[in-house]
Amino acid sequence: MPRGFRGSFVRQTNHKEEFDCHLPIYGGGMAAGVEHGWSSRGIHWQRRGSGPNLTLVIGFGQDSSAWQFVADELAHDFSLLLIDNRGAGRSPNLDESFMLEDLASDLIHVHSELNVSETAIVGQSMGGAISQLVALEEPTLVSHLVLLNSFAVLPTAPRLAFEAVYGLLKHGASLEDVIGNLSPWIYAGDFLAAPGRIDELISAAANNPYPQPIHSYRAQLDALTAFNSADLLPGIGQPTLVIGGSQDLVAGPAATDSLALRIRGATLTYLDTGHASHVEAPGEVADVIRGFLIGR
C-alpha cells in the first residue's frame, strides 16, 4: 500500500478503482451540537450557531471541516451553514465532470430546501468563485459577499502546481511528497517554519475521515480551470469584501486587486497570510468578517 493513503485506500466507483487523496488542510471534525443533513441532490451541509444567516463555502480540494477554526469564532454571532461541495467531504464523489456553475446551483438548491431566503456568503478560493456565481444568479439570496483568497480566474502558476500534484497522486506518491510539493503554495513561509508544522499537516491529512477521491480532485480542478468571471464581476451589486493574503501564491495580490477593482464599491483588505488564511489566521479572518457584516 502506498504511504499516505488510508487503510481501505481503494474506492470502487462505476467499476473503476480510485485512490483517495489526502491534502494538507487542517480539519476533519466540527464542534459538538452541529446539525447535519443532505439535500435531495446528496449535498452534505452542516448548521451551527445562532444569529443572522452566514454561509461558508470552502475551496478546491477541501471539505467544510477546513472552516473549523473560523466557524468556532463566528458561531457566537451567526447562524452558520457550511457546505461540502460536490466531489468533497460527504457530498457525492461522482465519476463525472461538472462546472463551477453546477456547484453554485447545488448551493442555491441547499438554501432553497432549508428555506433560507437571504444570507451573507463567505467563499474561500474556489469557494469564492462559486460564491460569485451565486451572487450573480440569485442576487436576492445573497445579502453580503465576502471573497477570501479568491480570484476571477485561476492564475497559471498555481494551476500548473495543482496539475503536478495530480500527477503525484495518480502515481501513488507518498503523503510526505504531496505535502512537500503543495504546502508552499498553500501556506505562508513563516507558518510552515513553525516547529512540527509539516508533521501536523501530514497527521491532519492522513486522519481526514472523508478524503477526496482522485477523480473528484481532477473534476474540481477542471471546473476551476474553466472558470473566468472577469467580465461578469461588474454585475455583482451586493456589498462585497475582498480579503487577500499578502503572501498568497495562489490568489496573489495582482489577482486579488483585480477582483476587487472589478466589483463596484468592493472593500479590499489584506492579512499577512498565505492562501489558507482561514487556517493560518482564523481569529483575524473571523474578526474581519464580523466587522464587515455587523460592525464589531
Cα–Cα distances (Å) from 92 to 13, 40, 172, 206, 216, in that order, read 11, 11, 23, 21, 9
Burial of 137 (0-12, 13-18, 19+ CB in 10 A): middle
Of the candidates 101, 70, 99, 67, the one whose C-alpha atom is nearest the C-alpha of residue 84 is 67
Q: Are 152 and 234 in contact (CB under 8 A)?
A: no
Residue 279 has pLDDT above 90, yes or no: yes
pLDDT at 41: 94
Using CA atoms, how far apart are residues 213 and 9, in angstroms rounded to an integer? Answer: 9
User: What sign does the dihedral 85-25-66-236 (CA atoms) show?
Assistant: negative
Q: How many CB atoms lie within 10 A of CB 130?
A: 30
Domains and CATH numbers, the chain: 10-294 (3.40.50.1820)
C-alpha cell at 49: 450557531
Strands of the sheet with 16-21, listed across from one edge: 10-13, 16-21, 212-213
Cα–Cα distances (Å) from 195 to 200, 247, 277, in that order, read 10, 20, 19
Estimate to the nearest angstrom the gap between the alpha carbon of 118 and the chain centroid: 21
Per-residue pLDDT band for 92 (boundaries 50, 70, 90) equals confident
Burial of 8 (0-12, 13-18, 19+ CB in 10 A): exposed
pLDDT at 2: 25
Per-residue pLDDT band for 24 (boundaries 50, 70, 90) equals low
Per-residue pLDDT band for 19 (boundaries 50, 70, 90) equals very low
182-209 residue pLDDT tens: 999 999 999 999 999 999 999 988 888 9
Q: Are 266 and 244 in contact (CB under 8 A)?
A: no
Cβ contacts of 100 within 8 Å, gap of 6 or more: 126, 129, 130, 133, 223, 224, 226, 227
Label residue 149 left, alpha or beta by phi (over 0 means left) and psi (-120 to 50 means alpha). Answer: left
Estimate to the nearest angstrom the gap between the alpha carbon of 101 and the chain centroid: 15
The full length of the chain comes to 296
pLDDT at 93: 77
